[in-house]
Amino acid sequence: MKVEFLNRFSKDLDHISSISVKKNLTKLILQMELEDNLNNIPHIKKLSGHKSAYRARIGDYRVGFSSKNNTVLFAKLFIERTSIMFSIIIELLLEM
């Protein structure tokens, strides 16, 4: 799959100081580039109520991303579990 990143994802990543989180995130990205289907990658869950929104858990962090047409778009890196849903709801409201 093709992997792309939003600017805010890069900004979120700059605030992470944990080397193990960055290492595991790199593994996840490389695994996504090699696979043709997200179902083959462990620790990924589809967000209910959204056609193409997913999350992955890396330690205490959650990675929010979407998948469409064999492209994965990394959107946000969260520390709190509830903040990922709040952010998605805000974005959907802004799109209306």
46: CB partners within 8 A, 6+ apart: 53, 54
pLDDT band at 80 (very low <50, low <70, confident <90, very high): low
- The structure's pTM equals 0.75
Give the pLDDT score at 96: 38
Q: What is the rounded CA–CA span in Å between residue 8 and residue 71?
A: 18
Whose tokens are 């989180």? That residue is 21
| Alpha-carbon distances of 38 from 5, 6, 31, 89, 92, rounded to whole Å | 17, 19, 10, 23, 23
Which range of residues forms the domain containing residue 80?
2-95
- Supply the CATH number for residue 44's domain: 3.30.2310.20
Instruction: Please tell me the total count of domains within the chain.
Output: 1
Burial level of 64, CB count in 10 A (0-12/13-18/19+)?
Answer: buried
pLDDT in tens, 29-56: 999 999 988 888 888 988 888 888 888 9
Give the mean pLDDT of the chain.
82
